[in-house]
Amino acid sequence: MTTTAPTTVPAGTGRGPALLAVDGLTVRFRLRDAVVHAVSDLSLDLHPGELLAVVGESGCGKSVLAHALLGLLPRNATVTGRARLHPAAGEPVDLIAVGERHLARQVRGRAIGLVPQSPATALTPVRTGRRLLEETLRAHGHPRRAAADAAERVAADVGLHPVDLDRYPHELSGGMAQRLATALALAPDPPLLLADEPTTGLDRPLVDHTLDLLRRRCDTGAAVLLITHDLAAARRVADTVAVMYASRIVEHRPTPDLFDHPGHPYTAGLLDALPDRAFTPVPGHPPMLTDLPAGCAFTPRCPRTTDACHTTPRLAADGGGRLACHHPLTPGAPA
Amino acid sequence: MTTTVDDPTGPPDSAAVTPTGLAAHQITVHFGRQRVLDRVDLHIAPGETVGLRGPSGSGKSTLARVLALLHAPDSGRVALDGRPVGGVRYRVPAAVRTRVAILFQSPRAASDPRLSLADLIAAPLRATGTPTAETTARTAELADLVGLTSDLLTRRPHAVSDGQLQRACLARALAHRPDHLLCDEATAMLDASTQAHVAAVVTDYQRRHSAGVLLITHDPALLARWATRVVDLPGAAVDPPARPPTR
Amino acid sequence: MTDLAPAPARTRPSRRPSALLRGGRPGVVLAAGVLAVAVVACLLAPLLWPLDQSAVDLVRTRLAPSPEHLAGTDDLGRDVALRSLYGLRVSLLVGAVAALVATVIGGLVGAVAGTVGGRVDRALMRVVDTIAALPHLLLGIFIVAMLRPSLGAVIASIALTHWLSTARIVRSELLSLRSRPFIDAAISGGASRARVLTRHLLPHVLPRLALATTLMVPHAVWHETALSFLGLGLPPHLASIGNMINDGQRSLLTGAWWASIVPGLALVTVTLALAALTGRWRDRLDPRVRAELQL
């Protein structure tokens, strides 16, 4: 079920205030003898009803983004920049500046739901699905009586049979566990959902089911940030796709545009690697995040490199999207 | 292309028809009370890529482990070039062991965290008593084959990305120049570029050694692109547990 | 977090105990300092202190702490501070040796159970469970009672009652490692059972085993103390913390608290320091903490 992607452009153009406005987000990890540049100067806006997919190779920093927004980074991380969350009801809050107490009480679970990567390990093994759901609902203000009904309703939403609700997590199949984890994230009805590789290890039908759940959530007004390495998944459900490479967003545009007319040579290379396209890899390796080259990090692997590429290209508006490249591919031109 | 019948209820003696390659005959496996595989036949001929498809829990990975001689089936047997293989795990004769290799889904789980990438690749060579000089040369050759640069080889698994680690695991799997490679969702966790790279290395190797490849994947595009034929495993009757049952 | 940035290889936190001091947590440094001072003092006591710890002086009994006798004297006029050092020395030695012996026994039993598996595993674990069901001080007393009171008897008593947890740790580590795909990968590469055991299983178990041994030392010291206190441990002329506390009881009634409190405090301080250090080491071995430290 691919809904028509809105024609509105990703960052900062119209459509009222963004639900999530990330501005200049930078995350560094200090190591004993190196600094990991996990996220660099990342900006993006996410509006209600929008599903934004962040795609990229493993180790490009995309997962760190999700953890930074939830304040779940380890102690040796330094985060700068802003990430303002504007819930429809309530005061806007800067997720980076606000303290752990506020995040724990007001944000995680309530304002931002997290669909975890491996549901089998994310679920408490000693509670049945029903108890997990009811506890979550009660923690978010449902009275006891209402929680029981609401639990069944949320479960039905994600396609869980009431009988399966009375099983313990280890008695559930991978797919059912994923549905339960999703139900738990959806139960408090958060306006923003973060899904961090929610489909790893699931088979196609389950992948599609999980993705469709997220899509349906968007269609009822929530915003979803989907982090994935799976381009097919992004293509199926995302309104806009942001491509991350070596800690930076290099391209961000509406899904059909990105898949049909990539502007960044890296995006083009990634698309060419798909089995239903050229099936040829991008040559070379991504750089280590501890040792990023000066200028455009894709330079060593890029066929279009010139001297200009030694300065970092700015992520600038480009034909309905955003692009950070000195020598973009023009639509229709060969890569 | 072979004419093997890959029907679970097919004739038990199909080895007679296809003498070369790796074959599973009437494999049945139970985990506890649950029957994961029920009299399954599968044959991989030299040079072909057999795509294996089936819903979650239909026993694809178990079948791969049986074929890799890592799991003893409750009944049925595995045959290499028509000769049944006696024993599993440690009891497989070295001459047979080195002819079948397996590549797992998670390179991280499949790598000893204590070993450097170079030691990881060299492990099968050392295990079979290859002389040191030859091991060193072969390791370099394998690393080159999968596109790992020498600065990566001194790192340990936690210091490289999933993609780089899977390349090392592929190099390790090819160390003995096996003539059968079983890829169990080997690219499911990888980005498109690394997946294409792994596929390119495997196809190239396959062509040069006329090796048979088993390709387990959920991705229809990958099957369409890579597999020379596709076998369906019927789904299990019951929805299986999320985690494999512990013994 | 699977998507975290690859870190350079050399930043991997060392699993060696020596690495604990780097990164300087005040508590850890303090514990290490206390332990170092205690060990050095125990070893060098005969050189540093001109007094004879066993010299009986029936004139100067139960003297309160003074510059001459820092912790006073006991009911036989022996210097309590000095005797505490000698006591600690014996206790630590007994504790360390007993812990080592227990580790060897437990390690072997656990390794056999964990690698052979099946019926052997079930039989060995049944034995472990049976022994564990007995109160271990009682069992310890029974063992000393069967032997002549001596250093060896005390060590045997401790070792034979403390190997159970080590056996369980080693067995469960081996069982969980055995089902990891990297073991399958090694077998698939042609590794023999012996090779898998020595190259892939034991190297993962040894740090845990070393940790279990050090965690056991304080237990062993306390066990020795308890036996000696009950008069079943070391011969009374040997200064051991347990003997001293036991002897000191008699002086307590006359107000000479130092004869039992000082050795007691020495024991508590040293075992706390030891526990603090090993606790930190255990944290380092915890995979979750390690993942965080690796970032």
Distance between CA C76 and CA C59 in Å, rounded?
9
Q: Do B109 and C7 touch (CB under 8 A)?
A: no
Compute the nearest-CA separation of C179 from chain B (Å).
9
pLDDT tens-digit map of A230-280: 999 999 999 999 999 999 999 999 999 999 999 999 999 999 999 999 999
pLDDT of res. C294? 39
CA Rg value for chain C: 23
pLDDT of res. B97? 94
Whether C277 shows a pLDDT value over 60: the answer reads yes
Round the average pLDDT of chain B to a whole number and report it.
Answer: 86
pLDDT tens-digit map of B153-181: 998 888 888 888 999 999 999 999 999 99
Q: Do B124 and C191 touch (CB under 8 A)?
A: yes
| Domain range list for chain B | 46-71+86-232
Q: Do C7 and A67 touch (CB under 8 A)?
A: no
Whether C211 shows a pLDDT value over 70: the answer reads yes
Kindly state the greatest CA–CA separation across chain B. 53
pLDDT of res. A11? 44
Mean pLDDT of C116-131: 90
pLDDT tens-digit map of A22-76: 999 999 988 777 888 999 999 999 999 999 999 988 778 888 898 899 888 888 8
Instruction: State the chains in contact with B (3 or more Cβ–Cβ pairs under 8 Å).
Output: A, C
Whether C201 shows a pLDDT value over 80: the answer reads yes
Whether A77 shows a pLDDT value over 50: the answer reads yes
Domains of chain A in sequence order: 48-60+97-250 (3.40.50.300), 251-323 (no CATH)
pLDDT of res. B228? 93
| pLDDT bucket at A201, cuts 50 / 70 / 90 | low
Whether A330 shows a pLDDT value over 50: the answer reads yes
How many C-beta atoms lie closer than 10 Å to residue C203's C-beta? 12
Q: A44 versus C21: which is more confidently predicted?
A: A44
pLDDT tens-digit map of C167-193: 999 999 898 888 889 999 999 999 998
Nearest CA in chain A to B165: A58
Which residues make beta-bridge pairs with A85? A20, A93
Q: C295 versus B182: which is more confidently predicted?
A: B182
| pLDDT bucket at A224, cuts 50 / 70 / 90 | very high
Given B196, B199, B242, which is nearest A170 (Cβ)? Answer: B242
Mean pLDDT of B229-245: 60
A292-301, long-range: CB < 8 A, 24+ apart: A292/A37, A292/A246, A292/A247, A296/A324, A296/A325, A296/A326, A297/A245, A297/A246, A297/A247, A297/A248, A298/A245, A298/A246, A298/A250, A298/A264, A298/A265, A298/A266, A301/A266, A301/A269
Please name the residue that has the structure tokens 């459900």.
A237
Distance between CA A324 and CA B69 in Å, rounded?
50
Q: In what helix (H) or strand (E) does residue A133 lie, and over which residues does it extend?
A: helix A129-139
Interchain CB contact of C19 with A (< 8 Å) = no
pLDDT tens-digit map of C25-75: 677 888 888 888 888 877 777 776 666 666 677 777 777 777 777 767 777
How many C-beta atoms lie closer than 10 Å to residue B221's C-beta? 14
Nearest CA in chain B to C205: B114
Distance between CA A217 and CA B205 in Å, rounded?
45
Round the average pLDDT of chain C to a whole number and report it.
Answer: 79
Q: Do C182 and B112 touch (CB under 8 A)?
A: yes
A142-151, long-range: CB < 8 A, 24+ apart: A150/A187, A151/A187
Whether B52 shows a pLDDT value over 60: the answer reads yes
pLDDT of res. A281? 92
CB B180 within 8 A of CB B96: no
Compute the nearest-CA separation of C11 from chain A (Å).
6
Given C9, C185, C188, which is nearest B159 (Cβ)? Answer: C9
Q: Do A57 and B191 touch (CB under 8 A)?
A: yes
pLDDT tens-digit map of B210-225: 999 999 998 889 999 9
Whether C97 shows a pLDDT value over 90: the answer reads yes
Distance between CA C221 and CA C94 in Å, rounded?
7
Mean pLDDT of C119-128: 92
Q: Do C11 and A34 touch (CB under 8 A)?
A: yes
Domains of chain C in sequence order: 22-49+78-294 (1.10.3720.10)
Given B185, B196, B219, which is nearest A281 (Cβ)? Answer: B196
Residues of chain C with pLDDT > 90, as a percent, come to: 17
| pLDDT bucket at B17, cuts 50 / 70 / 90 | low
Mean pLDDT of B40-67: 90
Q: Do B161 and A279 touch (CB under 8 A)?
A: no
CB B169 within 8 A of CB B107: yes
Whether C117 shows a pLDDT value over 70: the answer reads yes
Which of A75-84, A114-123, A316-325, B191-200 has the lowest average pLDDT? A114-123
Whether C263 shows a pLDDT value over 60: the answer reads yes
pLDDT tens-digit map of A6-37: 444 444 444 667 899 999 999 998 877 788 89
Length reported for chain A: 335
Please give the backbone phi and psi of residue A10, each rounded to the nearest 5 degrees, phi first: -45, -80
Q: State both tokens at C76.
A: 């036989």
Q: State both tokens at A56.
A: 């990229």
pLDDT of res. A27? 93
Interchain CB contact of A38 with B (< 8 Å) = no
Architecture of domain B46-71+86-232: 3-Layer(aba) Sandwich (3.40)
Whether C286 shows a pLDDT value over 60: the answer reads no
Across A158-167, A205-214, A238-247, B9-18, which has the greatest mean pLDDT?
A: A238-247
Q: What angle do CA A21, A23, A27 make, to 5 degrees?
A: 120
pLDDT of res. A50? 94
pLDDT of res. A28? 92
Whether C4 shows a pLDDT value over 50: the answer reads no
pLDDT tens-digit map of B194-211: 999 999 999 999 999 999
Residues of chain B with pLDDT > 70, as a percent, come to: 87
